[in-house]
Every structure is written in structure tokens, then in C-alpha cells.
Amino acid sequence: MTENILECKNLVLHYTAKKGVVKAVNDISLGLLKGESLALVGESGCGKSSLAKAIIRLLPRNIQSYTGEILIDGQDTMKLNEKQFREEIRWKKISMVFQGAMNSLNPVLKVGYQVAEPLLIHEKLKKNEAMEKAKEALSVVGIHESFVDRYPFELSGGMKQRVVIAMALVTNPAIIILDEPTSALDVITQANIMNLLKRLKKERGLSYFFITHDIALSSELADKIAVMYAGEIQEIVSADTFYKKAAHPYSQKLMASVPTLRIDKKPEFIPGAPPSLINPPSGCKFHPRCPSAFDKCAKENPPIFDLGSGHIAKCWWFEQSEGKK
Amino acid sequence: MNKNEELLKLENLKKWFELRKGIWANPVFVKAVDGVTFSLGKGEAISLVGESGSGKTTLGKTILRLYKPTEGKIIFEDKDITYYEPKKLMWYRRETSIIEQDPYGALPSFYSIYRILEEPLIIHKFGNSEERRKRIHEVLEEVRLSPIEDFAPKYPHMLSGGQLQRVAIARSLTLKPELVIADEPVSMLDASVRIEILNLLRELQENFGISFIYITHDLTTTKYFSERLFIMYAGKIVESGKMLEVIHNPLHPYTTALLKAIPDPDAENRKILRDVPPGEPPNLVNPPTGCKFNPRCPYKMDICLKEEPAMLEPEHEHFTMCWLHAKK
């Protein structure tokens, strides 16, 4: 087995808010192999983006606690101070494509400069060298190099998204975090961006940490699926198994809620709303909405059960079956 | 309910927006809606699908006469309302309503839910305050916001996105309209709530025999929601027909591309590249000559560059605007 290029162990991230402590990331452990892509799926407000921000350490100021281990390429980044992290890790080893690319570009700077900026800052390249590399990165994502002198408003939505991907690629990181990279795009543009990401993964052996709430879209990129609910990982499973028979009741409900074009089945919805992260329910956090909940679920929070071959699920239903499969 | 009875008919409807670049410059036009013809039966639900910038929202708003049409006709219940003055349109406002995309922005934040729902009733002089209260309770029950006593005095910021969208739906139903246009009603909502809201809309539409136009860019949800499908591209309807007929047997290359671009949840997806046309929808100020899809079309022929195809009916009740089907 190859090494995990990214590994989180017992990661915790809590925010302070007026009403109390927001438990956005609760004791999360997961790993990402080299060249693998992991899709993190869940409803909005379940802490997906917080987990990503905790990994790349782009955090707001109202942090209550931020503990655990994050190993990037074997190095525990939690031990680094902010300066070391900025110089050695962020954008060199791990970069991020933000949600809503439309708004993540600076409107008053030319796109070429924005792509070259990480090189000027991190690698201390001269401006003309950096611009050459920026042109290269832009042509990798399918944008003609003459676009370096354009401003973001001159570009369409799909092109802006490509520019943001070029920004993430330009320093040649091994891991890219994609936070809903296509949520504001049209379907055909989305398919084009997905094609680009697949091609890059194959050619460069990139590892993706792909955040989405769209299950159908997650199948485009994921080798492995992590299902998140109320700040906790509920299930981690290979894509091949997930789309056929997910184990956790929440994963099954999520799968049933996906409207499909070609398969003739009526989608169902999950009754109720996601819980508040300030006052989560007792026991298993999904139990108020879970169709197969029993007494124990309301009282005790289940541990993570190993179902074999890397498949884990956090549900009392697997208490007996553990070790048998 | 007789679905053959016509409620709304559009004839070559156009909405061009004028752009002036300088005082003496000749105006140029953004041809947002450029000749749309269709009819909608009573109690029928149709879906209008297109990418952003295809003019689908403008078409919806023009039908509701929130925009003044540039050319063509809107016939509603045998009355040609295309150029009615705003004062003469009050009855039309009662008969039609809109559900907007963003429930967070569509509801005034300083009104209580009760007040939001009462507003249209007051404007249209519906009964006295007791009758209005009754009607508000009725619609809140219809959209299943219960207990009503809890929800009515709340303000929008106290509700979740799904609940807000229910309030927006309730508001659109208070005056018992004949025609409701839902403009991307679920795109701002969470995936698990979407189906719930769409099921609710479908149920209300069927129970009250409302004619429905569902505007969206998401083809997968239309399947459960409407009987007919209209595909819009660059201000025109390029294909229309019965829902399953269009999905299983698309005639226009653009429809084919749209269908190919949509993933179904399947682990095999990650191993294939999708065969989709490159490029983006055209600029509506200077659209390409001939067929507007020609720069992205894989089956482009010479004639596509020169002449715009007419609306053809290659198969029964299945229309398309494409030269590929001209000779059949």
C-alpha cells in the first residue's frame, strides 16, 4: 500500500459564536493516498468547508479550539507556526480552489498577475519568469496565453473557474482542495471543468480533496467517498461500493434523494433539517431523522466500526457485524 | 381538468434590451428573447431549460408582463394582453404569480410572515381582515408550515432556506392564480430539501389545477415535475416535446449535449471523459449568423452558417430547430 499523502487524526475545530460553541469539525480522522481523490459529501452546514479550511489553515479569528494532527507528506503541520506553514506548506504542497470562482478573483488585477502571484511570493521568481509560468499554467487549463493581460470581467464564468484552477496548479502542489468548484456553473461548463480535472489528475498524479453536496457530481471524480454529517464523518468507503450499496442509513438516504436522468426511480427526501452545530442532538447526531434508529442511538454516540477493506461507518447497526466481514 | 383547453399562448414573442454606447451612437440590442412561440394548457406543467444567459428568466418575466415585450403576442384566456397598460393589468397580476430563485432575497426582511402573505391580499382588496386571516392560514397549511401560530408572527431571518421557500410559495398562491412561474425555485436550496420542495410544488399544482412554468438549468429535476419540456438556447426554443420523449430521443445537438453533460451517480463516471462541446453560450448582442448553436455544434453543415433553421416537427408533437432534420 502506498503512503497517505494527507492524513487527519482526531481533528477538532470549534468556533466561538454569540450563542455558544459551534462544533464544526468533531474528531475527524481520514486519509488520502497519493494520486487518489476523496469526495467529501454532506448537506450544507455540516462542516465540509470548515474541514477543508482547517487542513489548509485558512481560519477565521473566532477559533475556540483547533487540535489534532494533520500530516501532509508525513509532516505534522500542526506543529508549524504560521510563518513556517505559509512558507513551506500552503500553496507549495497543498492548494485550494475556492467555491464561487466568480468572486474569488481580484477584479482590478490582470488574470496573468493573479496566477503568477504565488510564484512571486513563494518561489521568489522574477516577474517575467513568473509570467512565463503563469502562461504555461493557463494553457494547461485550456486558456490561450494572450489572456494574461485581461481582467476578470472580460472572462466568462467557465474561464474564471479555469483561471482559479490554474492559480492552484502553478506552484505544482501534490494535493488540491476543491471546494464546490462547479457550483455556480452551467451543466455543460461543469462537464468541461470535470473533464479538465480528470485529465490533470491522470497526467500529473494529483490528489484531490473534493468537497461537494452533489452526489451525482461526486461520482465524476471520487475514488473514495467520505460522508459528513453534523461535523462528524459518518462513513468512508470506496466509490465502487458507495454508489451500489452504501452502509450508513444517512448515506443511503442521501443516495435515495438524488434525482437521476436515466434511471427511472422517484427521488425521496430526508425529513427534518440538519441539526444545529451549537446544540447537536444527544447520541448519534443523525438519530432524529434516521429511519432505522433504535433506543441506543438516542443515548450513545456510536464509535467508528470497521467493515473491512477500508470501509468504515459510524452507526450502531454495525456493532455486531464488526470483524465478521 | 381539461388539459387541452388553452390558458396561455405566445406568438413570436420578443424582448430586446437596448444598449447605448454613447449619446449619438446607434443603439444595439441584447436579444434576450428572440421569437418564442408556444401554448400552455390549463393545469399543465411545463419545464423551460437552458443555460444561464439563454433568456429563460427574461421569457418568464415577459410572460408575466414585468417587462414590456418588444414584439409578438401574449394571449391569456383569449385576451391579447401584450400591450395592456399597467392599470388594466391588475386582474392579470391576480391570475399570475412568480416564485423567485432566492428566497433569502425575495422576502422583505422587516415584514413578519403573516404580513408578507397579507400584502397581496390587501393590494388586491381581498375581503376584510378576518377573511384575509382565514386565507393566510389556509395557504400556510397548504405549504405545510405548521404549527401556523408559530410561523405566522416570525420574521424571515428566523427560518431556514427550505421554510423560506415555502413562504415564497405560499405568497404566490394566496390569490389563487391560474398561472405560476417558478424561476429556479430550488437552486439555492440544499440537495436534500430540493426534492421536498419540488414534490410540494407538484402536489399543489395538481391539486389546484394550476398551470406551471418551471424554469431551471437542471434537467434531472424536470423529469418528475412536468409533462412537456422546452429547451432554450440564445433566446429561442430549440427543441420541445413530451418530457420522456425529449430525454430519451433528443433531436437537437444542443439537447444531446445537455443530456450528456449530466452525471448519474455511478462509480464508472470517474474513468471516462464526457463528450461535451467546448465553448460557452453566445453573446446575445452579436449572436452568430445562421443557427446560433453552430460554433459549438459537432454536426455543423454549410447551411447552418447561412440560414437559421425553422421550427420543424420531425416526429409527432416533438419539435426542433435544426437543419439535420430538415429533409426527413
- Nearest by CB to A223, which of B192, B261, B270? B270
Considering Cα of B95, then B100, then B103, then B107, what sign does the dihedral take?
negative
User: What pTM, to 2 d.p., does this model score?
Assistant: 0.88
Give me the half-sphere count of Cα atoms (radius 13 Å) on the Cβ side of residue A153: 3
CB B265 within 8 A of CB A216: yes
pLDDT for A141-192, tens place per residue?
Answer: 888 888 999 999 888 888 888 899 999 989 889 999 999 888 778 888 889 8
Binned at pLDDT 50, 70 and 90, residue B4 comes out as: low
CA B184 to chain A, closest CA, distance in angstroms equals: 13
Please give the Cα distance from B86 to B92 (Å, whole number): 10
**Cβ contact, residue pair B270, A219, below 8 Å:** yes
User: Region B54-73: what's the mean pLDDT?
Assistant: 92
Q: Can you give the pLDDT at residue B327?
A: 67
- Residue A43 grid coordinates: 448537506
Reply yes or no: is the peptide bond before residue A271 cis, omega within 30 of 0: no
pLDDT confidence bin for B178, thresholds 50/70/90: very high
Please state the rounded mean pLDDT for residues A115-138: 90
Task: Output the CA angle A296-A301-A306, nearest 5 degrees.
Answer: 100
Residues 6+ apart with CB under 8 A from B269: A219, A220, B263
* Distance, CA of A254 to CA of B264 (rounded, Å): 14
> Looking at CA atoms only, how far is residue B123 from chain A in angstroms?
34
Neighbours of B120 (CB within 10 A): 19
- Given a cut of 80, whether residue B302 has pLDDT beyond it is yes
- Choose among A186, A216, A240: nearest Cβ to B217: A186
Instruction: Test B51 with A267 for CB contact under 8 angstroms.
Output: no
Average pLDDT rounded to a whole number, residues B146-163: 89
Residue-level length of chain A: 325
Interface of B with A (CB under 8 A): 51-52, 160, 162, 190-196, 199, 217-221, 223-224, 247, 257-267, 269-270, 273-274, 276-278, 280-281
pLDDT at A325: 39
> Would the pLDDT of A1 be above 60?
no
Nearest-by-CA chain B residue for A244: B266
On the question of pLDDT at B2 being above 70, the answer is no
What average pLDDT score do residues B317-324 get? 92
pLDDT digits (tens, 9 = 90+) for B93-134: 999 999 988 888 889 999 999 999 999 999 999 889 999 999
Which residues contact residue B130 at a Cβ distance below 8 angstroms, ignoring those fewer than 6 apart?
Answer: none
Of A37, A191, A242, the CB nearest to B274: A191
Nearest to B72 by CA among B119, B122, B37: B37
**Nearest alpha carbon to residue B262 among A43, A183, A186:** A186
What is the separation of C-alpha B193 from the centre of its chain, rounded to a whole number of angstroms?
20
Vertex A183: Cα angle to A177 and A189 (nearest 5): 100
Architecture of the structural domain at B6-325: 3-Layer(aba) Sandwich (3.40)
Chain B: nearest CA to A210, how far in angstroms?
13
Residues 6 or more apart from A14 whose CB is under 8 A from it? A21, A22, A23, A24, A25, A63, A64, A65, A66
Domains of chain A, by residue range, sit at 4-93+173-318
DSSP state of A1: -
- Which CATH number is correct for A4-93+173-318, 3.40.50.2000, 2.20.25.10, 3.40.190.10, 3.40.50.300? 3.40.50.300
Cell of B49: 431549460
Dump strand ranges (E) for A188-315.
Answer: 207-212, 224-229, 232-238, 305-306, 312-313
Q: What integer pLDDT is reported at residue B187 of this predicted model?
A: 82
> Closest Cα of chain A to B291: distance in Å?
19
pLDDT per residue as tens digits for the range A11-49: 999 999 888 899 999 999 999 999 999 999 988 888 888
How far is residue A10 CA from its own chain's centroid? 17
Query: Please, are residues A39 and A217 in contact by the beta-carbon 8 Å criterion?
Result: no
